[in-house]
């Protein structure tokens, strides 16, 4: 299995990692409808069996539930994947999620994540959202201290602009950035990706299938049947006027991937991975079958003619 170093770290990661937002289930503020924990655990085990060597999670996914499920899944595994988690979205007794980058909450979050995941150190710990902006330096300083204490191996950021990354780098190196990127959402190509290449910051792109829209299995009927609690029902990409264009793009990926015996999502993942500077793509999954269907993306790459055919769709 081909692996690549994440930024300037010694974490050698596969081009696909497993995303566990939907696995958080119904407790979060943004949910994907009901999720069976046994399906989630089977998905993680399947991914590890197929050679995928990292998992991305966050406390905010199901208010701790996703991290707990990941912790249960990796217990007793002889070959443990790297565990990447996040901080800065916290909740109190009222269960409402709020942003905090204060040193004391950052330190507490580290202890809570270690406990839920059942690990001695977090392989990568990322600031989930840069809010409130003036507190970025406070959080990053505390994260660098926790790294020195050995609780965290590497520190990274998510949803940061180049200007925000520059401020953090004045305090301690950034191993990686986690931004959104898919054939439907391409804004990082302008400034963010070039900046990360220049600064040797690894890039783990999220929502590469645009929340399932480019998986190959999304249809108008499926969208109409999504549970009321699934956030995608209200998302503009799942509604007209954007939906028809998005489904047509899915069709293009389906045709190209189909020529190689794969599902559309394999080509959609290869499309984000074509770009120099993208170290890995985080693939959100809900069961082992989904992992199995898209795992060929670990090695599949698009040819020049195929990339040109996709470019005609933009
Ligand atoms: N840092 C951040 O702010 C941030 C934000 C968003 C996401 N993330 C991370 O990135 C990960 C990936 O992003 P994402 O989950 O939003 O979107 P995604 O990877 O683009 O899409 C994931 C969804 O696609 C569907 N899918 C997956 N495999 C499939 C298959 N073989 N066949 C058909 N459908 C399939 C599943 O939903 P259904 O089966 O329900 O359709 C799955 O939940 C997250 O899990 C999370 O770890 C981070």
pLDDT tens for 127-154 read 999 999 999 999 999 999 999 999 999 9
Residue nearest to atom 13 of ligand 1 (CA): 207
Q: Residue 291 is part of a domain; what is its CATH number?
A: 3.20.20.100
What total number of domains does the chain contain? Answer: 1
Q: Which residues contact 276 (CB under 8 A, 6 or more apart)?
A: 197
Residue 61 counted as domain residue: yes
Residue 233 counted as domain residue: no
Give the distance (Å) from ligand 1 centre to CA of residue 15: 15
Q: Are strands 97-99 and 89-91 parallel, antiparallel or unpaired?
A: antiparallel
Q: Is the CB of 283 under 6 A from ligand 1?
A: yes
- Asked if 153 contacts 147 with a C-beta cutoff of 8 angstroms, the reply is yes
Residue 68 has pLDDT above 90, yes or no: yes
Residue 255 counted as domain residue: no
> What SS3 class is residue 66?
helix
The model carries a pTM of 0.98
Residue 222 counted as domain residue: no
Average per-residue pLDDT for the chain: 97
Q: Is the CB of 160 under 6 A from ligand 1?
A: no
Residue 59 counted as domain residue: yes
> What SS3 class is residue 80?
coil
- Asked if 117 contacts 71 with a C-beta cutoff of 8 angstroms, the reply is yes
Q: Is the CB of 286 under 6 A from ligand 1?
A: yes
Residue 247 counted as domain residue: no
pLDDT one-digit tens code per residue, 142-191: 999 999 999 999 999 999 999 999 999 999 999 999 999 999 999 999 99
pLDDT one-digit tens code per residue, 34-52: 999 999 999 999 999 999 9
pLDDT of residue 195: 98
pLDDT of residue 1: 80
What ligand 1 atom has the least distance to the C-alpha of 20?
A: 45
Examine the residue annotation and report whether 61 is marked as an active-site residue of this protein: yes
Q: Which residues contact 261 (CB under 8 A, 6 or more apart)?
A: none
Residue 203 counted as domain residue: yes
Residue nearest to atom 27 of ligand 1 (CA): 285
pLDDT of residue 132: 98
Mean pLDDT of 238-249: 97
- Asked if 297 contacts 16 with a C-beta cutoff of 8 angstroms, the reply is yes
Residue 254 counted as domain residue: no
Q: Find how far residue 312's CA is from the centre of its chain.
A: 27
Q: Which of 61, 82, 154, 206 is catalytic?
A: 61
Domain interval for residue 88: 10-215+276-299
User: Token pair 């991290």 is at which residue?
Assistant: 67
pLDDT of residue 204: 99
């Amino acid at each position: 299995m081909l692996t690549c170093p994440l930024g300037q770290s010694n974490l050698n990661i596969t081009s696909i990692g497993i995303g566990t937002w939907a696995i958080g289930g119904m407790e979060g503020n943004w949910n994907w409808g009901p999720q069976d924990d046994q399906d989630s655990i089977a998905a993680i085990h399947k991914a590890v069996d197929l050679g995928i060597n990292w998992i991305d999670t966050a406390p905010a996914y199901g208010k701790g539930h996703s991290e707990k499920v990941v912790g249960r899944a990796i217990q007793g595994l002889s070959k443990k994947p790297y565990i990447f988690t996040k901080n800065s979205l916290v909740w109190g007794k009222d269960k409402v999620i709020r942003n905090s980058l204060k040193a004391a909450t950052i330190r507490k979050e580290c202890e809570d994540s270690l406990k839920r995941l059942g690990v001695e150190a977090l392989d990568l710990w990322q600031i989930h959202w840069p809010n409130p902006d003036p507190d970025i330096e406070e959080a990053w300083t505390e994260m660098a201290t926790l790294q020195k204490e050995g609780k965290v191996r590497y520190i990274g950021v998510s949803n940061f602009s180049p200007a925000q990354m520059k401020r953090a780098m004045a305090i301690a190196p950034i191993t990686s950035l986690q931004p959104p990127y898919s054939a439907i959402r391409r804004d990082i190509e302008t400034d963010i990706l070039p900046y990360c290449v220049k600064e040797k910051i690894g890039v783990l792109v999220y929502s590469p299938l645009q929340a399932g829209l480019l998986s190959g299995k999304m249809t108008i009927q499926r969208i109409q049947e999504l549970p009321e609690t699934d956030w995608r029902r209200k998302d503009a990409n799942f509604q007209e006027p954007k939906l028809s264009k998005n489904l047509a793009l899915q069709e293009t990926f389906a045709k190209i991937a189909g020529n190689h015996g794969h599902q559309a999502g394999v080509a959609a993942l290869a499309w984000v991975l074509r770009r120099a500077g993208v170290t890995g793509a985080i693939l959100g999954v809900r069961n082992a079958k989904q992992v199995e269907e898209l795992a060929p993306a670990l090695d599949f790459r698009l040819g020049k003619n195929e990339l040109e055919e996709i470019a005609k769709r933009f």
